[in-house]
Amino acid sequence: MSSLVQELNDNVLSMRLHRPGTHNALDEALVEELCDAFDSVRASTARVVLLSGEGKSFCSGADLETMRRQGQASLAENERAALRLGALFEKIDTCPLPVVARVQGAAVGGGVGLVAACDIAVAEASATFSLAEVRLGLVPAVISPYLLRRIGLGHARDLVLTGRKILAGEALRIGLVHRIAETGQLATTVDDVVRELKAGGPEAIARAKRLLREVDARLNGPRDALSSFTAHEIAEARASKEGCSGTSAFLAKKPPPWSGKGE
């Protein structure tokens, strides 16, 4: 039975972790299914990817039985498994479509990593987040690049070194999640985010994701090179078919061609 349920509806590709008995823990099979799913996104007609979890929790992190087995394997085999998990977070981060996390219940360890790798995270007010690896004698190594970029070194030190649990309100304050939904309003709040994302041009959204990653990587480099890069990006966007059609539609007070509203 598949550990990942995929559905395409109204240009939204839903990827739902389907291991509720383990609170959607990430075992090798689920990691592979997620990697394959994100590899296939470009062939889809979707405009947005929605990542969620079945049952009470979003994701309880790495499957502990899998972790125990990997700990008994050779160092090379252990590292290969970790690299594959790292590849999943990279695929989410570099996905050309905007990826939204829909978080209920608990997000632990690698589950927090999934949240941090997604573009936008919406959490139910009662959701909890924890990086409990040190309490197991482990470290959140593979997710650390995404965690640090999302919440910064100061907040990461607090959560990683203590392993303490935080509520959605604190996760919002430190930047781990972007919006909080009151009980019973999670679906509505996620729908609002999806609608806002679909208002943007598909090519512009993909270009903007690449732009933000590249600018972030270049911030400490030569300023002239950064200025040249950003100038090239806006020049290409303005001259693109989507850019021209979107600007023309706005000036004519008409919906953009990707809205599906016609004239």
Instruction: Give the tens place of pLDDT for each residue, 119-155.
Output: 999 999 999 999 999 999 999 999 999 999 999 999 9
Domain boundaries, the chain: 4-198, 202-259
- For 170, counting Cβ atoms within 10 Å of its Cβ (0-12 exposed, 13-18 middle, 19+ buried), the class is middle
- According to DSSP, the residues that pair with 8 across neighbouring strands are 13
Beta strands in the chain (DSSP E): 4-9, 12-17, 48-53, 99-103, 106-108, 120-124, 128-130, 165-167, 179-181
Answer positive or negative: Cα dihedral of 32, 88, 81, 110: negative
195-214 tens-digit pLDDT:
999 999 999 999 999 999 99
Residues with catalytic roles: 133
What's domain 202-259's architecture? Orthogonal Bundle (1.10)
Confidence (pTM): 0.92
Fold held by 4-198 = 2-enoyl-CoA Hydratase; Chain A, domain 1 (3.90.226)
The pLDDT of residue 262: 58
